[in-house]
Amino acid sequence: GINGGITNGNDIVLRIAVKPTSSIASAQHTLDFSCDEMVDLEIQGRHDACIALRSAVVLEAATACALADLALLARAEIPFACNIPWRKS
């Protein structure tokens, strides 16, 4: 639901892609900042949690915050407009 910043009444559907975790088993060619040269980095074991499982919850919360921010911004721009659901009669 949102076309050009205006709701059309439909559900808001988000499609996301999650970057793989950085501690993969294969060697990675990366920059060592201490000596400014490229080195091969190999991680022993898995040291990071799976981000993909909780990304939906984090994205939902971030989207709710962004939509609430936009609603408050719209209310601040037009505080005395008619037909606003939060205006007391």
Domain boundary assignment for the chain: 20-77
Q: What residues pair up with 66 in beta bridges, in sequence order?
A: none
Distance CA 6, CA 1 (A): 8
What kind and span of H or E run contains 3? strand 2-3
Distance CA 26, CA 30 (A): 12
Residue 44: both structure tokens together: 């022993």
Q: What is the pLDDT of residues 44-81, one digit of tens each?
A: 776 666 777 888 899 999 999 998 998 888 777 776 65
Q: Could you give the residue ranges of the DSSP H alpha helices within 1-89?
A: 52-77
pLDDT > 70? residue 31: yes
Confidence of residue 38 (pLDDT cuts 50, 70, 90): very high
